[in-house]
Amino acid sequence: MKSKIPLTKLISEEDLSLANNITFEFVAGTAHIDEKELTIPLQYQYLEKILLGNQTCVIPESIIITEKEGLDKLLSYSKHKIHKFFNLMDERNVSCLVVCNNAEVSNDIKKRAEKFAVPILRTSFPSKVVISSILDRIHNLVAETKVIHGTMIDVFGMGVLILGKSGVGKSETSLELITRGHRLVADDLVKLYKNRLGKITTTCYNSQAFGLMELRGVGIIDIDNIYGASALRPVKDLDIVIRLISWEEEQEKKKAGTYSRLDDTDITNFESLSGNKMFASDESRHSFYEIFNTKIYYREIPVGPGRNIATIVEVVVKNYLSQINRR
């Protein structure tokens, strides 16, 4: 894990998990902005709490968060004391001062920030949202990631990763799902990482390719232009992994004895409802896909003539929802 992150990289990171991306306005003190870094784990303080005591305590290499209350408290000090406070921030190598709720920054504070090269950033969001966003951005920047060849779709609120060999029909199935009102997260290359809550999160590997889909015989299509922004979702937690397998793959699995039309989950649910042990077997059936030491519900769907794969995907999701709702 990295020990430090450049401040400029953190500021440019997008908040994919939020409805509105948090943006920052540089107000003052940007002369040496490229040299500023944030130490991991993040240390942050609220300005109004720092100024409460008789002795000013600033944590080295931290960020300081404030709103109007903190700025008003700082302005109540003499110019000499304000000068000493910014000098202390410089000595402790404070990464930046973040002003929330678009609070007004006085010229006196701006002058001190410029003199001691303490960056002041301003945003319209409240402090609690800003801190949460910064922590998420740091985690996303340093977390282990994987890139998988597949297509990620939001189906009935569940994150579904569709895998399969090239040409098996992943994009075509996803396009059919989109026409039914479901939402595309990523096509072709899907980026996965574990978020701060421990869930596997997915997004498009290349932000510039977000909303684009490649269809054989058609080329690259823009989902936003054809179906509108409501057909897209920039980020989604992973709930289900579905692998599309060709007829040849299905036959190979049958010969190897690794293919079963029923898995342990189906058998357990059926036996629980019927009270019969009809399917008792020592055969190992895998119904989970493991990534980042996390088990994800997994199904394999054979592809063949006359099979509506999009409908089957919807049924898999509804079946999964019915199972978790019964728990």
180/64 same-domain check: no
- Confidence class for position 278, pLDDT limits 50, 70, 90: very low
312/213 same-domain check: yes
243/162 same-domain check: yes
What's the whole-number mean pLDDT along residues 44-56?
83
Mention every residue, 6+ apart, whose C-beta is less than 8 A from residue 140: 13, 193, 195
Higher pLDDT among residues 327 and 278, named by residue: 327
Among 9, 23, 35, CA closest to 90 = 35
Domain span at residue 47 reads 4-140
175/313 same-domain check: yes
121/206 same-domain check: no
DSSP category for residue 62: -
Give me the number of domains the chain comprises: 2
Q: Which residues does residue 254 pair with via DSSP β-bridges, in sequence order? A: none
196/106 same-domain check: no
136/182 same-domain check: no
Are the C-beta atoms of 88 and 57 separated by less than 8 Å? no
Residue pointed to by tokens 């692998």: 243
Among 167, 170, 159, CA closest to 301 = 170
Residue 316 is part of a domain; what is its CATH number? 3.40.50.300
136/148 same-domain check: no
189/290 same-domain check: yes
| Residue 92: HSE in the Cβ half-sphere, 13 Å Cα cutoff | 21
> Hey, which residues are catalytic here?
149, 170, 188, 261
- Confidence class for position 283, pLDDT limits 50, 70, 90: very low
- For 157-168, b where at least 16 C-beta lie within 10 A, e where not — what string? ebbbbbbbeeeb
Q: What is the pLDDT of residues 109-136, one digit of tens each?
A: 999 999 999 999 999 999 999 998 888 8
Residue where a domain terminates, one of 140, 163, 187: 140
Q: Which helix (H) or strand (E) holds 48?
A: helix 47-50
208/292 same-domain check: yes
222/275 same-domain check: yes
62/93 same-domain check: yes
Higher pLDDT among residues 221 and 17, named by residue: 221
Residue where a domain terminates, one of 73, 106, 140: 140
Task: Name the average pLDDT for the chain.
Answer: 85
- The answer to pTM > 0.75 is no
Q: What is the pLDDT of residues 169-192, one digit of tens each?
A: 899 999 999 999 999 999 999 999
Residue pointed to by tokens 């390719």: 209
Residue where a domain terminates, one of 118, 140, 162: 140
Mention every residue, 6+ apart, whose C-beta is less than 8 A from residue 14: 21, 207, 234
Pairwise CA distance, residues 164 & 153, whole Å = 14
pLDDT above 90: residue 280: no
- 3-class state of residue 9 by DSSP: helix
Residue 126 is part of a domain; what is its CATH number? 3.40.1390.20
